Amino acid sequence: MKIVIAEDQGMLRGAISRLLAMEPDIEIVGEADNGEQALQLIRKLSPDITVLRDGFRIDPALTQTVALIWIGGKSCHTSP
């Protein structure tokens, strides 16, 4: 499973990346520190899942092609 992680706090992004990479069936294919970089990586790498910081703006059309997991301070929600 290919994953892109988008989080503006480098330490948190790195921690999420390292934790997910411990799973044998997960490959972290890209990391971004803002929504624009995330959008570029999604289009370029076609990940199966993208983990995004809540508040990053992403083209709604992408929700039809990639699973999005939104993370925030107090919540987490997904988009198909």
Which tens digits make up the pLDDT trace of 58-78?
A: 666 666 666 766 666 544 445
Class of domain 2-79: alpha beta
Domain residue ranges in the chain: 2-79
Q: What is the pLDDT of residues 17-66, one digit of tens each?
A: 999 999 999 999 999 998 889 889 988 999 998 888 767 766 666 666 66
Closest-CA residue to 10 (of 27, 28, 32, 26): 32
Amino acid at residue number 61: A
* Reported pTM: 0.79
